[in-house]
A and B are shown apart, each in its own frame.
Chain A
Amino acid sequence: MNPYIANTESEIQKMLSAVGAKSIDDLFVDIKPAQRPKSFDLPTGKSEMEVVEHIRRLSAKNRNDLILFIGGGYYDHYVPAAVSALISRAEFYTAYTPYQPECSQGTLQALYEYQSSICGLTGMEVANASIYDGGTALYEAVMMAIRITGRKRIIMDGGVSPIYRTILRTYTSNLDIEFVEAPVAHGQADRAEIAKQLDDKTAAVILQNPNFFGTIDDHADIMSQAHKKGILVIASVYPIALALLKTPGEMGADIVTGEGQSLGLSLNFGGPYLGFMATRKEFIRKMPGRIVAETTDAAGRRCFVNTLQAREQHIRREKATSNICTNVSLCAVQASMFMTLLGKQGLRQLAQLNLDKAEYCRQLLEKIPGVKVKRSNPTFNEFTVHLNKDASKVIEDMIAKGFAAGFPLGRYYKGMENYMIVAVTEKRTREEIELYAKSLNEVLNS
């Protein structure tokens, strides 16, 4: 039985008679008997109580009790209660795309504020109202660079998340785009290697800061070299780190994307997350996704609308900038709430706290025999360590001690089987960090 159906038997009869049908089956006459399902073998419905209990049991089979020192682009940050409370307002989550601006000003203004904060954080001029997630945002940035330059070759620095790399490979190989990877040197972008690759067929070079190994860099030199050949620069960034770090805007990036999960979204086993995208004003028409703009109404009152819709699929169809329809509006609003609540000072302090805790952890790990911390450039809240054993085996042993100890680089990089990346967020207490170091020592040396 469907508990969310309203009409009673007598109402159904009245409605059928208004329609001129004898039964509901009559309304399905266009479906011929031969077209009926060959099978529709599904369980009978359960009560809410039963379903909740069933999922509670499934939920208990997941190990969310582990103390997380694993990051890899997805971080265990605290979500303030006010963010959770506000985003649970049905006016936000049960509305649809703001097609009718008069009764959607809440979503529209919130998205305008979101775009502004993303611009402020990245140092860029314009941002869209979100894309699915960090990886797909990077793919959309690649397609955007191809549209702008009319070229079809992409160079990716080896420090860009290998998770993103695997996605990009799918699209580039299926969509006939040349994709070149420039391996890192000593954990950071290899200037000479990238310079060698920059040519006048290249649409864009992709850089990430901090990169997947945790290394912080200033890519301004690479960016200006690329620009000399008419190549655009796509920067993939971690928004919490941007509270402290030189912005991609300051470095000269043309398109900025990133994963916004760390801005107040739960880990959710992979989604929904938030892809953000910002660019220079001159490229706004080439940017995919919805964009909200301020305007006025007939009475001169300030208001907000979706703009530049003429480049979107529902108008341009096969000539659209992108096929995107849905974005992740709710996640964008949630991130905006998070940035607003933390504010100018708070986000900086949060970033500093991440930095300090990671540094403390790094210092403890360095003292453990068999651990070498690789570092040429500074790092933020994640860093690479070299172990005297296979990292994936060490991480497995650490699970037994209650820790998700890091992410093994060997999973994506051949020859790096003894390396792992370790992430330390503001949620890790001194006690947890010390216990983590102690446990790692035990795993490695006993």
Chain B
Amino acid sequence: MKLIFEKSVSGRRSFEIPVSDVGIKSEIAAKYLRQESAPLPEVTELEVVRHYTQLSRRNYCIDTNFYPLGSCTMKYNPKFTEKVAAFAGMADLHPLLPQLRRGETLAQGALEVLYEMEKILCEITGMDHYTMQPLAGAHGELTGVMMMAAYHKAKGNNKKYILVPDSAHGTNPATAAIAGYEIITIPSNDKGVMDLVQLKANLSPEVAGLMITNPNTVGIFDSDIDQIAQMVHSVDGLMYYDGANLNAILGRCRPGDMGFDVMHLNVHKTFSTPHGGGGPGAGPVGVNKKLAKYLPISRVVKRDDGVFALDYDYPDSIGYVASLYGNFALLLRAYAYILILGKEGLIEASNHAVLNANYLMAKLKKNFDLPFDRICMHEVVLSASRQAARGVHAIDIAKYLIDQNVHPPTVYFPLTVKEAIMIEPTENESKQTLDEFIALMLEADKLSQSDPESFHSFPKTMPVSRPDEVKAARELNTNYFQRLSSSSAKKVKETVSF
């Protein structure tokens, strides 16, 4: 498919800018002006519409395909949340209004949403306070770890290390490193959970804290979590809960009760806001009383007169972590989603997410290796080791599934499982969908025995198949205009076929 720039014709135009009604033409001195117009495309509105509509058809998405991408919680995104986010009172509200004098009165509805969300999230997770500012999960992690650092600094603690399990998301060690800590990786045991002996061996007064998901990234709930928390707290370390897998335990247990001091959650996972092709997300961060005074400013409060307002008066706060108040339109969608589900609906979400994952595990474990043969939570991690021995790797099975109109599960994560296939069906999928998926997986296994070679040509039904990622990384053609000016790029152009 052509790039929009290749469809451009000089002089063609689209959106009409209104004629000026002010009757003056202002000019800026030439030395402040750009030499040439920005090289944006020149196309008609119809061409723009066709271009993006055609592009959209080259995506799998939840609305068109089963999307059991492990660790990403690809739930159905209810349409009504789009509707409420589009209300003009919300969508067209200027963010600086509440920073004007008595400006909080101009944004009471929006501030109420943020205030209510804080209360709701506290109840769901058992934390004492929340900030809505962090703009994604990893951003929440950095916010949380900076608060941990502030806590230790205030207490005069000399801390150097953050512990992370070997199965952790890459964001955990990356975040801790940016915050200035060294990482100690704690191995898992043969049951798929943290090895307490190893934890003990690595605990020291220099440990600032532990970052962990529970259930962990292999989909297993670590029952030792209270003991782990006790051990970490015994050296005045702090417990950080990565909320990526919260969808498994709603109403069943709460990070605050498990002994966690600080946590983030991903509203695009647990609370079903759309993933948008990789964002935007939102990563509210909750803390218990130990860390409350370090929360970012501004905070939303309800004054005695019942008016919601921004409050900046927290001298120990780590400061602002984002420009404004968080990804409001997503927090609003999450709020609407939580209201519609209510207490029972949230519990049901976890119930069915877990049931669906266990059903898949039960039906697939004969044909695929199961690194940990025990009840799983909201996702199941299989290994394609057996198939790999026949020359069919996890990635090949993924490509096979694409041809069958299924978005593949996460492959090669977690890193602790060889040939990992991580399946998270979510609570929204029906038994029929799961049965069809099971049939496909069994078919893939069968084909790996009868004709392993055939996998290398998958996918066959897509516009492209097995892109050359080595070439992409070596040539680094990331900008159409740069390519036009470089010589090595010409070679690329010649091999293009449309």
Contacts and interface: CB of A to CB of B under 8 A. Distances in A.
B230 to A, nearest CB: 13
B281 interface: yes
B341 A92 contact: no
Contact of B92 (A12, A267, A396): A267
A37 B253 contact: yes
A426 B18 contact: yes
Contact of B53 (A64, A89, A95, A100): A89
Given A51-B84, A176-B180, A272-B327, A40 B91 contact: no
A62 B48 contact: no
A94 B465 contact: no
Contacts of B1: 105, 109
B33 to A, nearest CB: 6
Contacts of A363: 24
Contact of A94 (B61, B173, B249, B340): B61
B31 interface: yes
A133 B323 contact: yes
B332 A102 contact: no
Contact of B38 (A166, A217, A243): A243
Contact of A2 (B28, B51, B339, B427): B427
Contacts of A339: 40
A37 B257 contact: yes
Contact of B142 (A107, A113, A270, A323): A323
A28 B252 contact: yes
B220 A300 contact: no
A253 interface: no
B430 A7 contact: yes
A392 B103 CA distance: 10
A19 B359 contact: yes
B89 A60 contact: yes
A119 B220 contact: no
Given A121-B38, A242-B38, A170 B363 contact: no
A369 to B, nearest CB: 22
Interface stretch (A199-207, A227-235, A342-350): A342-350
Interface in B329-380: 329-330, 332, 335-336, 338-349, 351-352, 354-356, 358-359, 361-363, 375, 377
Interface in B412-452: 413, 427-431, 433
Contacts of B23: 360, 430
A76 interface: yes
B471 A295 contact: yes
Nearest to A118: B479
B158 interface: no
Given A121-B38, A123-B34, A323-B171, A295 B330 contact: no
For chain B, give the interface size range: 35 or more
Interface string A97-139: 1111111111101111101110111010111011011111000
B205 interface: no
A319 B321 CA distance: 22
Interface stretch (B94-102, B232-240, B385-393): B94-102
Interface in B62-116: 62-65, 67, 69, 72, 74-78, 80, 82-85, 87-97, 99-102, 105-110, 112-113
B197 interface: no
A29 interface: yes
Contacts of A59: 84, 87-90, 109
A327 B318 contact: no
Contacts of A24: 351, 354-355
A61 interface: yes
Given A102-B465, A125-B482, A302-B496, A107 B59 contact: yes
Nearest to A358: B26
A242 B381 CA distance: 49
Contacts of A433: 22
B218 to A, nearest CB: 12
B150 A174 contact: yes
Nearest to A406: B100
B190 interface: no
Given A40-B343, A102-B402, A303-B467, A315 B38 contact: no
A353 to B, nearest CB: 6
B114 to A, nearest CB: 9
A56 B45 contact: no
Nearest to A80: B15
B93 A64 contact: yes
A30 B344 contact: no
B183 interface: yes
Interface in A293-314: 293-305, 307-308, 310, 312-314
Interface string A352-382: 1101111110010000000000000110100
B480 A113 contact: yes
B29 A378 contact: yes
A185 interface: no
B296 interface: yes
A192 interface: no
A297 B467 contact: yes
A133 B322 contact: yes
A353 B344 contact: no
Contacts of A350: 17
Nearest to B259: A35
B91 A267 contact: yes
A393 B101 CA distance: 7
A246 interface: yes
Given A7-B430, A175-B178, A300-B497, A64 B89 contact: yes
Contact of A30 (B135, B375, B462): B375
A297 B33 contact: no
B126 interface: yes
A418 B293 CA distance: 33
A429 interface: yes
Contact of A317 (B8, B31, B174, B329): B174
B372 to A, nearest CB: 11
A290 B40 contact: no
A127 B252 CA distance: 44
B82 A110 contact: no
A131 B101 CA distance: 31
Contacts of A56: 84, 87
A165 B84 CA distance: 33
B468 interface: yes
B362 A19 contact: yes
A92 to B, nearest CB: 6
A275 to B, nearest CB: 9
A86 B100 contact: no
B473 interface: yes
A109 B4 CA distance: 10
Contact of A340 (B40, B138, B352, B407): B40
A121 B335 CA distance: 37
A296 B467 contact: yes
B251 A40 contact: yes
A37 B61 contact: no
A8 B32 CA distance: 67
Most chain B CB within 10 A, of A61, A171, A301, A317, is at A317
Contact of A37 (B90, B102, B251): B251
Contact of A296 (B43, B223, B252, B496): B496
Interface string A262-281: 00001111111100000001
Given A18-B363, A326-B137, A346-B14, A106 B126 contact: no
B92 to A, nearest CB: 4
Contact of B252 (A36, A45, A291, A302): A36
B319 A170 contact: yes
B279 to A, nearest CB: 4
Q: Which 7 A-B pairs have the closest CB atoms?
A: A45-B342, A330-B276, A270-B324, A59-B89, A170-B319, A6-B430, A272-B280
7 contacts: A7-B430, A44-B343, A86-B52, A268-B85, A271-B280, A305-B472, A360-B24
Given A2-B352, A218-B31, 18 more contacts: A28-B221, A31-B249, A51-B339, A59-B109, A70-B96, A86-B56, A92-B276, A95-B62, A98-B277, A105-B462, A266-B329, A270-B326, A293-B472, A308-B476, A313-B173, A323-B138, A328-B280, A378-B32
